[in-house]
Structure 1
Amino acid sequence: MQNLKLAFLGAGNMSGSIIGGLIATGYAPEQITATRRSEERLQSLKAQYAVNISTDNCATAASHQVLVLGVKPQMMKALCEEIRDTVQIHKPLIISVAAGIRAETLDRWLGGNVAIVRTMPNTPSLLGVGAAGLYANAIASEAEKQFADQMMQAVGISVWVNAEAEMDAVTAVSGSGPAYFFLAMEALQKAGQEAGLSEEVARQLTLQTALGAARMAVESDVDAAELRRRVTSPGGTTEQALNTFNAGGLTELYAKAVAAAAHRGKELAELLDQ
């Protein structure tokens, strides 16, 4: 893996997180180049990680075997057109971390017959505890898919989907998912304050409880449903709270929310493809 020269074109916060994760796992900084319009941000990346920096996307693309496209979705077409001729000559592996842009669309913008891996990381990747879904087109080799997989594992976990349509569900569950949990934390803290706790006490209890529950779920050998049953005594306080959630249709509401997010992902993909 570390024999490949890796370039991050449009190195924003997510690219910076991946760079940090790769270097922490032993990837050589001199094998990595970051490009960006902002010289200030590039200098910050260089100072922090000792990577190479450049403002020339085409020259960088010509000298690297793997290109991570990290610009915002609305800027992706322009970037692809900028590097298209270089990509057609050198045929690097393309890894996109942009939401909503299909592999077929990227392939067309890049001139066709390009190995592409789409990945949908989420914001906890900034802390090294991300969750990413990946999809590869038919041109990507097993070695190229393995590289992309290892790259995303440097900042969390990675899972593969067999059909690109599933990436909309990945976006809806893990890409947007942190916001669902933040909303739950916000609501629980507010409820605690309304029950008589101070803002700071309610905040500390809420956040630590969320952290503890997540760790229990990750580290346990049973599923979340069983963990829930174990902390729910018949006739107790937890049961009363859960009955209230169930009466309000919480499970069905989650299903509707994820379906709405996935549907919007499909809509955005169609808009970006135009």
Structure 2
Amino acid sequence: MNLCSISSGSSGNCTFVGSKNTKLLVDAGISGKKIENGLNSIDVHPEDIQGILITHEHADHIMGIGVLARRYNTPIYGTAETINAILRMKSIGRIAEDLLHYVVPDESFQINDITVEPFSTSHDASNPVCYTFQSDGHKVGMATDLGKYDDYIISKLSGSEILLLEANHDINMLMVGGYPYYLKQRILGDRGHLSNDYSAKLLCKLLHDKLKHITLAHLSKENNYEELAYETVRVELNQHMDDRTSGKILSVAKRDTASEMLSTT
């Protein structure tokens, strides 16, 4: 299986996940044109995308969904609450009803040769989820926009050979920064976002011998930066593995361009 972040951060998120026979997107939070350009840069044709899996209805995860659905008749997957919230947004435009597919947390479903499992996340949205993907004995796990993690999250992501995990903010940068108090409290709350430190602690609970790639994602532009997120997580990982190993498997998703294509093989 393969994973490539097309765009990642507070201003827009879109990730490609694929197998031998199936090509999917998780979220479409940038313009349709940028998604097309990002896919073309990794030699994937937008018309070959067989589904867009939406985590939740915030703008940085759905901005381009209407354009892609209308242009390519791409099926859309999400919880009923998420899809209904999207359909109420005038900015998204009309989406044909036959393209909409409702998912239920903890109920796996099949898209060609990929088994998709949605799982619940703690975020201030309408029944938000993230996803794991399994095909041909390999597993990819993704988790962003979660204010906390617990044994349930760990169990869902466990065994993933590729992990894309949120490292949204540095707590000190957030606290001394210019955000209003209510927004700082929202981000730090149980329905907000994972900090670099908590992302690192979660990753340490997910380490196993077959883990090949970790990509840190959804970094805040104002309250984090790539080198800080990387070093915070790497220092924690080094308590559990060799420094050369952590440096080899750890990366940070790029904000505005496609990142490296990661593979389980």
Q: Which has the higher strand share?
A: 2
The TM-score, its normalising length taken from structure 1, stands at: 0.33
Q: Which has the higher helix share?
A: 1
Question: Which one has more relative contact order, counting CA pairs under 8 Å at least 6 apart?
Answer: 2
